[in-house]
Amino acid sequence: MTTEVKRVFSGIQPTGELHLGNYVGALSNWVKMQDEYDETIYCVVDLHAMTVPYDVEEFHAARLQTAKLLLAVGIDPDRSLLYYQSQVPQHAELAWILGTITGIGQLERMTQYKEKADKAGQNLGLFSYPVLMAADILVHRAHAVPVGDDQTQHLELTRDLVERFNHRFGEIFPLPERITPEIGARVMSLQDPTSKMSKSDPNPNSRILLVDDPDVIRKRIKSAVTDSETTVAYDWDRKPGISNLLEIFSFFSGRKIDDLVDEYAEGGYGRFKEAVAEAVIDGLTPIRTRYKQLDDAEVAHIMERGALDARARAERSMVEIRKAVGLAGY
């Protein structure tokens, strides 16, 4: 069932507003891959987001807001399939099937599970989260998965499941490849550069949102935690705060880190941070502008159309998968 068509799949949770880490680590590749691959399929993974406690109204609003942001960053619904995971029940069906070949020990080793279970409490959905993620990717038989560095372990599990499934039931799934950017695969918190920038960090100063105003961006970068020295250098061990800002700067300016270090090494952190902030503002302004122009009803319509198409495609895969595992017919 492997085909010549090269397909991309990725997903994002509709929890809170999207931040710089999401964009640099993953979404910018989502956009780019629209030009490089035959098919790109992107999903707002609302079922995944239910694994931690949430407010129903806020959650419902966040789904649409996330869809809007994806359109604003440049996901083109005429070239990419975009939909809500919950609208395509085949994801959950395949997750069940994959669950039957997933070891408990393997799930217990997932660091994201351990972190989230510590904070939000354990539940079966959180525990089997990576199996649903594998199902997302495999129901579309994707070849490439653009994600940030924090999804590495989940992708490894997906690849294990592909090998196990194909060995047992026949060559159904291609082995999906993880795609991460060279620079910025792990954008760190502005307040603690040893932990990643995250939607769930209680301190809003730790992140920059894609829709933040220029003044907020300037303030957040100015107050980013660095170190007590004055020389700008790229050294993650000694200067994680500055190294994080250098990666962000390099991403938004399109310039090499070495070049930036040459230009900003002397002259102090103040001047450096101002330049970083301006580069980020230049990069995010078009996104914020497009976001404001998008109409909710139109976005809802795009998501509905996407779900119809995704359901049909996922069902075509499921017919093959059901046959392979012995569930076809009556």
Count Cβ atoms below 10 Å from residue 96 Cβ, excluding itself: 12
147 is a contact residue toward ligand TYM (CB under 6 A): yes
Q: Cβ of residue 63: shortest distance to ligand TYM, in angstroms?
A: 12
φ, ψ of residue 96 to 5 degrees: the values are -60, -45
Instruction: Scan residues 19-48 and list those touching ligand TYM (CB under 6 A).
Output: 21-22, 24-26, 45, 48
Helix (H) or strand (E) holding 157: helix 152-169
Site string for ligand TYM, 124-143 (x = CB under 6 A): ---------x--xx------
Q: State the CB neighbour count (10 A cutoff) for residue 114.
A: 11
| 35: CB partners within 8 A, 6+ apart | none
Which is catalytic among the residues 32, 68, 114, 116?
Answer: 116
**How many helices and strands, by DSSP H and E, does the chain display?**
15, 5
Q: With binding defined as CB under 6 A, does residue 197 bind ligand TYM?
A: yes
Query: What order do you get walking across the sheet with 177-179 strand by strand?
Result: 80-84, 39-44, 7-12, 144-146, 177-179
Give the H/E segment covering residue 216. Answer: helix 214-222
Binding window for ligand TYM (CB under 6 A); candidates: 8-16, 283-291, 292-300, 313-321: 8-16
**Measured from the CB of residue 105, what is the shortest distance to ligand TYM in angstroms?**
20
Nearest approach, Cβ of 253 to ligand TYM (angstroms)? 18
Catalytic residue among 6, 32, 68, 199: 199
Note if 323 is an active site residue.
no
Q: How far is the CB of 175 from ligand TYM (least distance, A)?
A: 14
Upper half-sphere CA count for residue 51 (Cβ side, 13 Å): 24
Q: How far is the CB of 78 from ligand TYM (least distance, A)?
A: 22
273 assigned to active site = no
Q: For residue 116, indicate whether it is catalytic.
A: yes
Give the active site residues.
Answer: 116, 196, 199
The residue ranges that bind ligand TYM (CB under 6 A) are: 9-13, 21-22, 24-26, 45, 48, 133, 136-137, 145, 147-148, 150-151, 154, 185-187, 196-197
